Each structure stands twice: as C-alpha cells, then as structure tokens.
Structure 1
Amino acid sequence: MFCRAFRVRSNTAIKGSDRRKLRTDVAAAFPNLSAEQLTEFIPNKEELNVIKIYTHKGEAVTVYMNSRNPILFEAEKALYPTVYALWAYPDLLPAFSTWPPVLQKLAGGADLMLPGVIVPPSGFPQVERGMLCAVTLSGNRAPVAVSVATMSTAEMLAAGMKGKGFAVLHTYMDHLWEYGDKSYPPTLAPSVTEPAEKESADDEEEMEEKEPVSSFSTDPLQHVDIGDLSLKEQDSCAILMGKEEHNENKAAETAEDDNTEVQQEAEDSRTPQEQMDALLSQCFFHALKCKVKKSDLPLLTSTFLRSHMFPCCPAGQQLDIKKSSYKKFSKFLQCMQHQKILQVKELSKGVESIVEVDWKHPDIKAFTVPEGFSSASAAQDCKNEDKEQAYHAPEIIPLYGVSTKMVPLFQESGHKKGSILSSSEVRNIIVNYVKTNELVDEANKNFVKVNAILCDCLLDKSEQDEISNLKWDDLLSRCLERLQPLHQVTFFGQEPIVRKGKIEPIDITIAQRSSNKKVTIIKNLELYGLDPQSVANILQQKVQASATIAPVPGTKDRVQVQIQGNQIHHLAKMLLEEYQLPRKYIQGLEKAPKLGRKK
C-alpha cells in the first residue's frame, strides 16, 4: 500500500473528543492491550496529529501520528498498527517469521508467499482468514511488516505451505516508515522456542551456501548490506540505505567481490519472475549508461524500450515485461522515477516521454556493463539502432462505450454505462436483441421493427412518429453513432492503451513563411509511437533541409516537426512504406506538389 510515494491532503492536530473516540476504537480493534498500554499508546496530553493521504492507487487513508512517528493508519474503516507501534508492542499481533532477504520483496510491494514462511518447532499461531498479522525476521522478534492472512492456519498447512499466505499492507523501509523518524527495528530477544528455530535456520543457510544477509541489529552497517543486496539484484523498489559515507561504499564493494560466486549460485534458485525483474533492471541501467544521451531527451518511453533496452538484452535471453513483477513498463518507470533516476512526463495525452535522467545517480554509476558488451560496441550499436531497428506500427482498434441513453438497449446483454465494446460485439448484441424480441419484419427480413426501446435509443424526436421500421445497416450505423467513441492503441511490447474519442490522424500541412517560402508541418506523431525528434533528424538527412521541433500553438504539451519546403513526397514514402502506417491515419498527403512531366 505504501511501497510508492503518497500524496498528503491535510495534516491537523486531533481534537479531544476525537482522541477519546480513537482510544475506544483502538481498544475494540486490539483487545489484548491493557488499560495502561492503551493510555500510553493514545496519550492524553501529548500532541497527536491526523493526516489524510492518498496512496499511489488513489486510496484514501487516514494516518495517526505520535511524536513524529505514524502509529496507526485507517483504511476502509479498519485500523492497522504501523511498524513503529509494533516495535513498542511486539506482541500486539500474531507473528509469522521469514528470512531477511524476503524483506526486500515485501518493501517492493510483494505479498508474503507461504514457501518463504519459517515453520517454528512450536507450530504457527492460530489465525483465521482476514486476521491482522505481523511479519518478523528470523532471530529478531521486532515486526517488520503488517499483513492480513489470506487463509487460516489450518488452510496453510493443508495447502502444503504453498501459495500466498499474507497480503502485505505496510513494511519497514516503505514510504509510511519514511514519514517517521526512519529509525531501525530494535533487537528483541526471541521467544523460548525460537533458539531451536534459529539453529535449524542456520543449518538451512549453510546448505544454501550461506546467503550473505544476517538478522537485524542496531548497527547501521548491517542495514547497508541489506540495501546493497537489493542494488546488486536490482529487482525491487526497496529504499537503499546507508549510501552517504565513502567507507560504507568500500565495504559494500568488498562484500560484493566476496559474494560473487554465492550470488551466481543463488540466481538459479530465484523464481522466473525474480529473474525477469533482474534482467529488466540490467537492460534499463545498461541502456541509460551506454546508449541514451542528453541530446536524445525528451525520449518516448516506447522508443526507449524498443530501440535502447531491447538491444541490451544478453544473447540467448528475451526481455518480457509481462513476466516481471511490474507487468507494465509504465509501472517499472514509475518505480525508477520514485528512486529519482529519471523523470517521466506525459508530453501529449496518453503518450509518456523520458524528459530527464540523473546520470550521476549511484545506481547508474555503480552499474557495470555485462560481459559480451563493450563501450565501443555499445556506442556503435547506438549509431546503428535507428537504422536497423524496425519500427512497429501500433495496432489501433476502434471501440465504443455504452452511453446513458443507450443503456436500455444493452442492459439485457449484461452491460451497463461505461462498458467498452468492439464493433463486432456491438453488432452481435444488436442482432441477438432483435432476434430475442422477435423484431425482424416478417414481410421483409431486411427490415427491423422499431419497438419502444429502439425508438428512444436510436430515433430523433422528429422521427419517432414517422419511422416504424429500419434497415439492418441503418440500425447498426445509428447504434454506433450514438455510442461513445473510443480507441485502443497497442504499441510493440507494451500493454494496450484505451483512450476517449477517435484517434487523431498524423496531420501534415503546408504553411507560407516570409519571402514566399513554404514549410511542412507535421503534428500528432507521438500518438503513433513516433519520436518527433527522430523523424525530424531523418527528414533533415534525406532532404538536406532545416528541420526543427516546436510546441503546437495553443497547447502546453504537444510538439510538431517543421521542415523547410514542401516535403510531403518524402513524408509519404517514410510513413507509408518504411513505417507502414495505414493511409487512413495520415491527413494531408494530397497536398504534395505535382510532379512535372519527364522530358
């Protein structure tokens, strides 16, 4: 819930009456708190603040602060303790233990899977599905995550400890923890039965070549090790700790050298999703370090993926974002933007571009080019990519949304206002509606009888008393006209994007400038996954004329290409033949200069 930055809506001091109500709610939610603990938890005189926030998913959450630390958060009328509260009251919730490396996954937004849960000799606490639970690390009773059990203890054991066990809501090192004083988890002595558990855990670690992560302590250097592990693997959004001091960087580099072999062996034990996350991060940092230049910005995210990241994929491997934990490239870029590696903006509606890259970021500087790639070859690849990398025209599908007026016609088929349908789906729904209600004209089956619903949905007021039958084609065309127009664009290697309205065509116009000179202006290239700067550069080389990028007049975030002379012939050849865009999506090709007769 808090693995990404949230937006603060308000921050106010809690009133006395609200304080009493909160204490009552806490007592009801956590009945094992004694009266003294309850008074200590919600004090009478110390200042308490209530903060209204919106998470990155748009969820409204209320956070209660005490002594600069968040102690509770409320979502959907349910109260949850934070890790700061659990460090003061570690036995507040039933706890389940896991291994230290798993924390990086949890902080990155992952849920806790049952194979990662340590089974203690004394057995699990008895919990029911939906109960609040704490997550601890082996050897330390201090909770590091707050979660909700997705199955009961009996169901966990019956499932053979497979599947998702806990939906994680909040963790140490996430943004809610960052909102407090960023203190480390305390070292709390394990319970009586935990020493045996720790010994068995140590045995398992020895069998697995001793993974280089230990349990938490108050020593900051140990937290650096955990942060650096996530940097080496580059497969989560965990916050990297302890990177400010030069000595700590040296210690991390030494640890990396010592544990190279261990990590190589550990790679084989990673899940396919974790391996794809690591490959995605490797290609990302490789592309930023060796291929993207400052002069390339702003750079379409689709171009960055297609022309820069894909060529960085090692031989024999295939980059498939759908198989990663991010599922979408846009979500991965949001994570990188949160780490302040780059900045992404929507320069035109629905089309994102990379506008800024921090090449001095520690993660970029620390990245080393994998074996098989060299700086020289990378530079040469960068020059050849624009020529060799084929442009994939986006797949564009017109869609239709059910409007308020058309709901009566579509509700029989189970659709409601806002439902999105393709033209074939609309046709099938209309045909089934006509046949189900026996509206086909028996005298002439090319006509459909207009009932009350068709009359209200498809006829104008002036037509309602005059028209009793409609031709099939007229019926379908009227239906499509009255639905809300939408369109779906699918760029190569990315998830489909659904936008309102019909897609704007690439607009080519000829304008007159001073001294009777003509210029060719091209707009809306970004909507089709084309980088205006790249198109301007290619045109400039082909026609040997000046080409520039300028904002579209009257807009804030749209750009257009302007090139000297009437260059529509060259544009037509590029867009239709090289990029293979359908002619119906290009407007203005008829303005090409007429060629003279050959002598």
Structure 2
Amino acid sequence: MFAKVFKTKSNTAIKGSDRRKLRADINSSFPSLTTENLAELMPSKEELNVVKIYTHKGDAVTVYVQNHNPIMFELDRNLYPSVYTLWRYPDLLPAFTTWMPVLEKLAGGADLMLPGVVVPSSGLPEVKRGTLCAVTVVGNRAPVAVGVATMSTKEMQASGMKGKGINILHTYRDQLWVFGDKSSPPSIAPLEVNPAPKDTEEEQDSPQESEISKTKEVSLPEVPERELETLNLTEQGTVVPQNSTDKVEDEDEDTEDMGHCQRSPQEVMDSLLNQCFFHALKYKMKKPDLPLLTSTFLRNYLYPCCPEGQQVDIKKSSYKKLSKFLQTMQQRKILQVKELTKGVESIVDIDWKHPDIRSFLAPVTEATTPTLVENESEAGDHPYQPPEITSLYGISAKMLPLFQDTGHRKGNLLTQSDVRSIIITYVKTNELVDPDNKNFVKVNPILCDCLLDKSEYNDVTFLKWDDLLTRCLERMQHSHQITFPGSSPIVRKGNIDPIDISVAQRGSNKKVTMIKNLELYGMDPSTIANLLQQRVQASATCTPLPGAKDRVQVQIQGNQVLNVGRLLIDDFKIPRKYVNGLDLATKPGKKK
C-alpha cells in the first residue's frame, strides 16, 4: 500500500476528545494492550498529529503520528499498527516468519506467499481469515510487515502451504516507514519453545541459539531453491546460495549477542552523542565558524563525526531534544547558546580549553584533521553532492478526463515524460492525428474542455503536437521532487526556488553581493561564506533572511557575482538553470 510516495492532504494536531476516542478504539482493536501500554504509546502531554494522505492507488488513509513516528493508520475504519509500534510491542499480533530475501519483495509491494513462510517446530499461529498479522524474519522477533491473512491456519495447511497467505499493507522500508525517523528494527531474540534438556553444562546453549538451531533444522526444507525461483526471489536462472542464508542467520546471531550488552540502548546513544559532540568541537569547529545555528551544527558538524555504520538519534537518547543536550553542555560551561534571532538558537562561544574537550581523543578509525578549509585544494574535498531535481505534474480535476483511462486519479504526480507518453497514447487511441498533416492533432470535446480557453472553443480545431503538450503541462499542478544522495526523495508543491544572487548598493557607493535559498539545495550558508571569503579575500557574513524562518542569506562585500557563479556551478555542480542573477556580474573592461 505504501510502496510508492503518497500525497499528504493535511497534518493537524488531534483534539482532546478525538484523542480519547482514538485511545478507546485502540483499546477495543487491541485488547492485549494494557492501560500502561496505551499511556506509553499516547502520552497525554505530548502532541499527537492526524495526517490524512492519499496513496499512489488513490486510497484515503488516516495516519496517527506521535513524536514524528506513525504509530497507527486507519483504512476503511479499521486500525492497523505501524512497524514502529510493533517494535515496542512485538507480541501484539500473531506473527508469521519468513526469509530475509522475501522481505525485499514485500517492501516492493508484493504479498506474502505461503511457500515463503517458515514453519517453526511449534507450528503456525492459529489465525482466521481476515485476522491482522505481523511478519518477522528468521532470527529476529521484531515485526517487519503488517498484513491481513487471506485464509485460516487450517486452510493454509490443507493447501500444502501454497498460494497467497497474507495481504501486505505496510512494511519496514516502505514510504510510511520513511515518514517516521527511519530507524532500523531492534534485535529481539526469538522465544524459546520446548527446549530440549541438556546432560552437561558444555552442551547447554542460550535460548536464542536453541531457537535458531531449531529453526534451521525444521525450516530449511520448507523453502527449497526451486520454490524460491517460483516466488521471484532471485533473478531468472540464479538461486540464492545456501551459504548466503547461513550468513544472514549468523549476522542475526551476532546482533542478538550484542543485544545482551549490560548498557541500555539509551545509555549507548548517550555515549555516541557525547563522542560525536566532542569530536566536532575539537577537530571540526574553529572560532571563525561562530556564531553557528544549532541546526547547522547538528547537520554539518555533529552528524559527520558519527562512526561508520552507526547513526546518532537524539530522540533515542536521554536528552530527547538537541536544545536540552546543548543546555546541559552550557551548564558544564563547555559552550554558550543564545537566541540571536527570535526563536532561533545559535552557538556563540566555545571554551576550547575546557578539560573535557582537551582530554577527548577521537577513535583511531576517525580522521582527526580539522575541516577548516585553508586552501583551494582542500575545498575540492568538500563532501557536498548536488541533489537530483525532478519536475512533477499533478492531475487536476479539469485534466482528469485525459488521464483516467490509464488508471490515474486526481492528485497523482507524473513526470514530464509520463505525461507526454500518456497524451501521445490518448491521441493515437482516439485517432486524432490529422491524416493530411501529421504535425497537427484534431481537438475533440475532451481536449477542448481540458486545453482550450472559452474564447478558443469555436476557433481552434487543430493543435500542433508541441502546443498540445505545452498546454497540458501548463494546466497541471506543478510540484518537484528533490533527492539528495543517500536520502529518500522529498516531494514539495510548486517549482523549486532557484538560488538567488543579487547586488545591493550600500553607503559610500559600496556594493554587496547577497545569496539566498542555499538551504533548499542542501548547502550550508556558513560554509559557502567561508569559501567565498577565502577565495576573494573579502568580508562575508550570514544574516537572517527577512520573512523566512530558520533561513539565512550570505552577504559578501563587492560585486562577487562572477566568483559566486563559478563556485556554485563549477565546484558544487549546481545546474545553471537553478541559479538566478548571473547576468549581474561585472562586465569585462568596466569597473564597478
């Protein structure tokens, strides 16, 4: 259901009466949840949002979001838990186990077929047709998918474990999961079922090892290679080797062993947060970087100091918020935070002589060279990579008749090539190409209503192909999708604002160059200011952008449009069409 990007219709905070009704509905739908569980799932003092969305197939779904994570979604008046909720209550639903390769297909929109189900020694859970079920993978009890059983357990066994077992609604790594904090499933050891007695201490295994060994012995025959091929789990003629499955199970066992660490996950996250924080202060930040927005510090200084394979998530630490963490560091007199602009905090001072900073040593695997760019060659090592920007066109109510034959609905987003292909197919299917001149298309009643103005109804009977496609795109709802390397696509309404370069006159006939909208392209304004300052040897500062919250503009002395253009287009690889104001550069031979 959420395999493709969905459209958000509204996002509002829930009212008190609606919160109580939702709590009662959850209690009715999932009676195994205690009063304490409900209070933990929906804390009374924390904001709970109601998000109404339309899936790519046009289904209207209501999503309930707590702390930026979807906890429940409602479809046809039925409540379903998200994987984020099931990770907190893994035994909330009866669970069916499958293999890791199957999960990749489920995330792509496939349903769970019975040949892909692992039958444990204790047998399948008892369910009826229509029962809400969870799906787990071998070696981990944390659910990775939610769906509805298409048949009862007895019917599954009677069918010889063939056919469709569960209609999948939501999975780990689908777009509903992306809507949250995108955390990974926890490692939850499988429950031990009827452990066999051991004669000696040397033969005793941990419950996890016992369950995994049982799963290996019982389940391996259930999914032979020939059935994996029928499930399309591998490419044509290629079968997943047996040792790769063992490798996955070994990795799961290692993950479970790590889960027995004495420290709680919150303590582990606190330790990682402190390590990255002091690493950033000692090796990344310099005095010229101050003042620095706290959000910029988090994104461009703290996160890059995280060791490879790990991820800082402040919400999983004891601090919960960056502001609370920085307040604690301020109380320890490590740094000073102030509100330079109303509602926007900045780091204004750092005590680099503080004992905690001076005594910190970065891990051996981490680079300890400062990131302050001292020359042009170091600037070439900047980690920035330009985003991929795609124009999208939404189907409006007026344009719907042109697209409904292809199964599209109002609000669906299409690329320009998709629109062109659909329009060409429509014209040819309805035989609208002018037989005397194939460069023209006859205007039928639908094209007339969709593409012509009222004043043109009686005059225009033919349109050129280019005019036809141009009119179609102009009358659709414009949106854009921006994708940063390693991140999920972000869809926004309207066209993306270009980076705007302008030149303003100051006192004494002096000029300054101003640059705004850098944040939309994932660039840090303070980094751009530092690079320009070193390149042109002129003063550069970052100032709040009037009328825009949490946005700043770079201001540099003199007419530096030419240097700014070269930096953005040549060094940062921003396409020229997304940079405005390049014509304001000083003309050769003229002194400005």
Q: TM-score, normalised by structure 1?
A: 0.53
How far does residue 400 in structure 1 lie from its aligned partner after superposition? 1.1
Determine whether 1:340 maps to 2:335: no
Determine whether 1:308 maps to 2:288: no
Change over 3 Å in CA distance of 1:127–1:476 after alignment to 2: closer
Distance 1:75 1:450 in 2: 41
Residue 404 of structure 1 is matched in structure 2 by 397
SS in 2 for 1:378: coil
1:290 to 279, 284, 290: 279
Residue 16 of structure 2 is matched in structure 1 by 10
Residue 409 of structure 2 is matched in structure 1 by 416
Residue 585 of structure 2 is matched in structure 1 by 592
1:454 to 447, 458, 463: 447
Distance 1:159 1:395 in 2: 44
**Counterpart contact for 2:96–2:133, Cα < 8 Å:** no
**What CA deviation, in whole Å up to 9, does each residue of 1:162-221 have, x standing for no partner?**
x9999999xxxxxxxxxxxxxxxxxxxxxxxx9982566999997656779xxxxxxxxx
Distance 1:53 1:306 in 2: 27
Matches for 1:83-482 after TM superposition, within 5 Å: 119-120=121-122, 126-131=126-131, 150=149, 152-154=152-154, 197=194, 268-270=250-252, 287-291=276-280, 295=290, 297-299=293-295, 304=300, 308=304, 312-313=307-308, 336=316, 340=320, 342=322, 372-373=364-365, 377-380=367-370, 387-482=380-475
How far does residue 488 in structure 1 lie from its aligned partner after superposition? 1.6
**Counterpart contact for 1:447–1:471, Cα < 8 Å:** yes
What is the one-letter code of the residue matched to 1:409? L
How far does residue 496 in structure 1 lie from its aligned partner after superposition? 1.6
Distance 2:560 2:362 in 1: 43
Determine whether 1:560 maps to 2:542: no
Change over 3 Å in CA distance of 1:156–1:382 after alignment to 2: farther
**Counterpart contact for 2:147–2:166, Cα < 8 Å:** no
Q: TM-score, normalised by structure 2?
A: 0.54
SS in 2 for 1:476: helix
Distance 1:388 1:300 in 2: 19
Change over 3 Å in CA distance of 1:557–1:341 after alignment to 2: closer
Cα RMSD (Å) of the superposition? 6.0
Distance 1:597 1:387 in 2: 31
Residue 327 of structure 2 is matched in structure 1 by none
Q: Judge which range, 151-160 or 503-512, deviates more.
A: 151-160
How far does residue 544 in structure 1 lie from its aligned partner after superposition? 2.2
Change over 3 Å in CA distance of 1:529–1:268 after alignment to 2: same
Distance 1:80 1:487 in 2: 31
**What CA deviation, in whole Å up to 9, does each residue of 1:340-379 have, x standing for no partner?**
15379xxxxxxxx9989xx9xxxx99xx9896326xx435
How far does residue 590 in structure 1 lie from its aligned partner after superposition? 1.0
Distance 2:498 2:439 in 1: 35
Q: Judge which range, 562-571 or 283-292, deviates more.
A: 283-292
Distance 1:156 1:533 in 2: 61
| Structure ID, larger Rg | 1
SS in 1 for 2:194: helix
Residue 528 of structure 2 is matched in structure 1 by 535
Residue 325 of structure 1 is matched in structure 2 by none
SS in 2 for 1:403: coil
SS in 1 for 2:466: helix
Change over 3 Å in CA distance of 1:558–1:133 after alignment to 2: closer
Distance 1:476 1:166 in 2: 38
**Counterpart contact for 2:373–2:531, Cα < 8 Å:** no
| Aligned-residue identity in percent | 42
Distance 1:74 1:423 in 2: 33
Distance 1:450 1:13 in 2: 53
**Counterpart contact for 1:128–1:149, Cα < 8 Å:** no
